[in-house]
Amino acid sequence: MSQSNRPDHIRLTSHPVPGAKHEYPIAWGAPTARERGPIIGTVSRPQDRNVIGTHGGSYAVYRALAVSSGALDPIRRPDLTNTFPAATIGPFDQWIDPQRIVALDPWGHLVAENFRTEISEGVDIRPSIAITRARLDLPEIQAALAAKRLVADGEFVHASGSVSVVKVAIDPVWYLPGIAHRFGTSETNLRRALFEQTAGMFPELVTRPDLQVFLPPIGGTTVYLFGDVTKLPDHRTKITCRVHDECNGSDVFGSDICTCRPYLIQGIEECARAGQTGGLGIVVYNRKEGRALGEVTKFLVYNARKRQEGGDDAALYFERTECVAGVQDARFQQLMPDVIHWLGLKRIDRFISMSDMKHDALTSQGVEIVERVPIPDHMIPADAGVEMAAKKAAGYFSLDPKPSECTVGRPLEKY
């Protein structure tokens, strides 16, 4: 067992030996994975670490439970046999621009091939991206086939209604100087806020300025690719894209207070059609529940909206969120374009979104958006008129920008 795992010895923070060189330096934005260097967030060989935080985002806490209960050996290494990507993505020019991608490791799916020697020598280097293949089976897509909005082609959309995809899971890897730059603040200010707002969970944020990469304990991103992914590097390929932020209540359970699942499904249908007609469809799903304020905050806001004088009102939609959470939205789309850069995209032909924040984040970082596609009115659920009217009033993109008549939602007693 390594020193840090001695039960009588707790390491509160780490300090580099003055003047010592890092064994595994990180040169963010370097032209190859080996020149950039591996991302090492191991907790079992502290001398190898070159980042703040550890692997797996928030799941590190579950790993701690597995270790504390004796179910997991804390020094165990993953066996990466046969885990390599099921489709090729990259490398792209964007990967070697240190300011273009700052919130994920562009080489994160290729660690097993790029650092085979180090891994075989026992260095704990883990992938932060995994790429596999799947079939999606969704009732709305079957209905789209029945209604002849989609047709089976036998390759991407099957007669059963299932859809073939490549899917990619991405854990966040933050290059702190780049994140600070993206948010228009200093790295010192960013590190201090991260340290204080996590109640000192990561002391190295303030004690180790030499460590510039942070593995934050937050949810990651999933990408679903529809069509022939070998067309990704060809800039003539027509790209249809939906960037969706998690809404468990609607996405999974079909709650009718918002438009999330209908819009997600519209995105999937549009992307499947793009994929089967020679283009590529891309759905990006970010774990940013409740505008990244969390589901507890979200449900509190629902109650505050429904119980306010006059009932759930579009005019007060954003205000109620701010009353509970202090901000209207914490998703901060500034980091969202990184995944689009990682896919090598410079243009989105059809952007399935009404969000100005997402649109502006992409265009301000050099991604051209040709056409914006709003959600059709007939897909807006019964209780979601308030959300839609409030968003249109706030300037969200719409083909019909006048707020809808139905701007008062269902009261709590009527569920």
* Among the listed residues 179, 178, 40, 45, the one whose alpha carbon sits nearest the alpha carbon of residue 115: 40
* Among the listed residues 124, 100, 113, the one whose alpha carbon sits nearest the alpha carbon of residue 48: 124
Does residue 329 carry a catalytic annotation? Answer: yes
Q: Supply the minimum distance, in Å, between the C-beta of residue 226 and Zn ion.
A: 23
Query: What token pair was written down for 295?
Result: 């589901």
| Residue whose pair of structure tokens reads 């060189």 in the numeric block | 21
293 near Zn ion (CB under 5 A): no
Is residue 391 a contact partner of residue 318, using CB atoms and an 8 Å limit?
A: no
Piece of 118-126, 221-229, 257-265, 319-327 that binds Zn ion (CB under 5 A)? 257-265
Dihedral sign (CA 258, 381, 243, 140): positive
Q: How far apart are CA 49 and CA 25, in angstroms?
A: 10
Q: Supply the minimum distance, in Å, between the C-beta of residue 246 and Zn ion.
A: 9
Angle at 379 between CA 378 and CA 381, to 5 degrees: 105
Q: Supply the minimum distance, in Å, between the C-beta of residue 60 and Zn ion.
A: 28
Please classify residue 386 by burial: count the beta carbons closer than 10 Å to its beta carbon, then call 0-12 exposed, 13-18 middle and 19+ buried. Answer: buried
Residues 374-393 that bind Zn ion (CB under 5 A): none
Nearer to Zn ion, 62 or 299 (CB): 299
Q: How far apart are CA 114 and CA 125, in angstroms?
A: 10
211 near Zn ion (CB under 5 A): no
355 near Zn ion (CB under 5 A): no
Nearer to Zn ion, 182 or 244 (CB): 244
User: What contacts 253, CB < 8 A, 6 or more positions away?
Assistant: none
# residues contacting Zn ion (CB under 5 A): 4
Nearer to Zn ion, 180 or 258 (CB): 258
| Residue whose pair of structure tokens reads 């030499």 in the numeric block | 210
Nearer to Zn ion, 140 or 153 (CB): 140
Maximum separation of any 2 CA atoms in the chain, in Å: 69
Piece of 9-17, 231-239, 243-251, 345-353 that binds Zn ion (CB under 5 A)? 243-251
Q: Supply the minimum distance, in Å, between the C-beta of residue 325 and Zn ion.
A: 15
Binder of Zn ion out of 101, 258, 343, 375 (CB under 5 A): 258
Q: Supply the minimum distance, in Å, between the C-beta of residue 260 and Zn ion.
A: 3
Piece of 120-128, 207-215, 246-254, 320-328 that binds Zn ion (CB under 5 A)? 246-254
Nearer to Zn ion, 191 or 358 (CB): 358
Piece of 14-22, 220-228, 244-252, 394-402 that binds Zn ion (CB under 5 A)? 244-252
Q: Decide the pairing of beta strands 163-170 and 174-175.
A: unpaired
321 near Zn ion (CB under 5 A): no
Does residue 331 carry a catalytic annotation? Answer: yes
Residues 57-116 that bind Zn ion (CB under 5 A): none
Q: How far apart are CA 272 and CA 8, in angstroms?
A: 56
Q: How far apart are CA 205 and CA 178, in angstroms?
A: 15
247 near Zn ion (CB under 5 A): yes
260 near Zn ion (CB under 5 A): yes
Q: Please state at what angle helix 317-325 crosses helix 385-393, rounded to 10 degrees.
A: 90
Nearer to Zn ion, 204 or 245 (CB): 245
Annotated catalytic residue, options 182, 191, 273, 331: 331
Is residue 358 a contact partner of residue 334, using CB atoms and an 8 Å limit?
A: no
Query: What token pair was written down for 105?
Result: 């490791």
250 near Zn ion (CB under 5 A): yes
Nearer to Zn ion, 164 or 259 (CB): 259
- H or E element in which residue 178 lies: helix 176-182
Annotated catalytic residue, options 48, 171, 312, 329: 329
Piece of 46-54, 109-117, 256-264, 344-352 that binds Zn ion (CB under 5 A)? 256-264
- Catalytic machinery residues: 329, 331
Binding site for Zn ion (CB under 5 A): 247, 250, 258, 260
